[in-house]
């Protein structure tokens, strides 16, 4: 493991899990069944279950890492091997920018989710967003063999995708404070968002986030 990767693993990753839990837990209904798509080593889902013992969580991954925190099913990266409306909630944290076609996974998530889809991903709106996000992705994921197509969308394109799939944006957050203050100035702020999506009247592509 390279020095930057050691710093990420020991100093950044654990804080990221804790802060993401703080953002996600209020968006999850009591006693929900949750499908964690692309959850990596499963640490985030395990942390959610530790804080919310009422949750029933199942994982789904293209590449299952050794030492995953709970059992994870394998899939082809496009089709979820579950019937329609199989889970209350589908969770996709930093997954969609690892696929060439984020709309495909959003469509599958909409198919199997009864209540909501929770998405954490990136925004490519600010100056130097693209090189910064590519750097972050290499440090955090390259050593695990994760695909890095670097598909980063601006906010408008995310809303266009949600609209085209008939998904309503119920909650939108984009100042997550995932990193300590100095690092957050470079790698946080407007580069990240959490969205709670639900079926219903689609959000207009021109509409500002909540």
Specify the range with the lowest mean pLDDT, choosing from 58-72, 76-90, 119-133, 164-178.
58-72
Q: What is the per-residue pLDDT across 111-146, written as a single tens digit (0 to 9) for each? A: 999 999 999 999 999 899 999 988 888 777 655 666
Write phi, then psi, for 127 (nearest 5 degrees): -60, 135
Strand partners, 192: 122
Identify the helix (H) or strand (E) that includes residue 74. strand 72-74
pTM of the shown model: 0.87
At residue 168, φ and ψ (nearest 5 deg) are -95, 135
pLDDT of 5-34, one tens digit each? 444 444 467 888 999 999 999 999 999 999
Identify the structural domains of the chain with CATH numbers, from first to last.
Answer: 3-199 (3.40.50.150)
**CA atoms of 127 and 189, how far apart (whole Å):** 12
At 84, phi and psi to the nearest 5?
A: -60, 140
pLDDT of residue 12: 64
**Residue 1, both tokens:** 């493991």
% the chain with pLDDT above 90:
61
Q: Is the pLDDT of residue 3 over 50?
A: no
């Amino acid at each position: 493991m390279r020095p930057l990767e050691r710093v990420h693993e020991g100093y950044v990753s654990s804080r990221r899990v804790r802060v993401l839990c703080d953002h996600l837990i209020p968006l999850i209904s009591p006693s929900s069944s949750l499908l964690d798509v692309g959850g990596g080593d499963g640490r985030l889902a395990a942390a959610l279950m530790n804080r919310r013992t009422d949750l029933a969580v199942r994982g789904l991954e293209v590449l299952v890492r050794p030492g995953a925190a709970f059992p994870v099913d394998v899939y082809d990266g496009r089709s979820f091997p579950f019937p329609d409306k199989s889970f209350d909630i589908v969770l996709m944290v930093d997954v969609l920018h690892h696929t060439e076609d984020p709309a495909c996974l959003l469509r599958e998530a909409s198919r199997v989710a009864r209540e909501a889809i929770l998405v954490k991903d990136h925004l490519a709106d600010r100056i130097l967003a693209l090189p910064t996000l590519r750097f972050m992705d290499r440090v955090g994921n390259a050593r695990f063999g994760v695909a890095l197509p670097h598909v980063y969308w601006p906010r408008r394109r995310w809303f266009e995708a949600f609209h085209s799939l008939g998904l309503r944006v119920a909650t939108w957050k984009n100042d997550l404070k995932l990193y300590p203050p100095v690092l957050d100035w470079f790698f946080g702020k407007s580069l990240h968002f959490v969205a709670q999506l639900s079926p219903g009247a689609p959000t207009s592509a021109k509409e500002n986030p909540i």
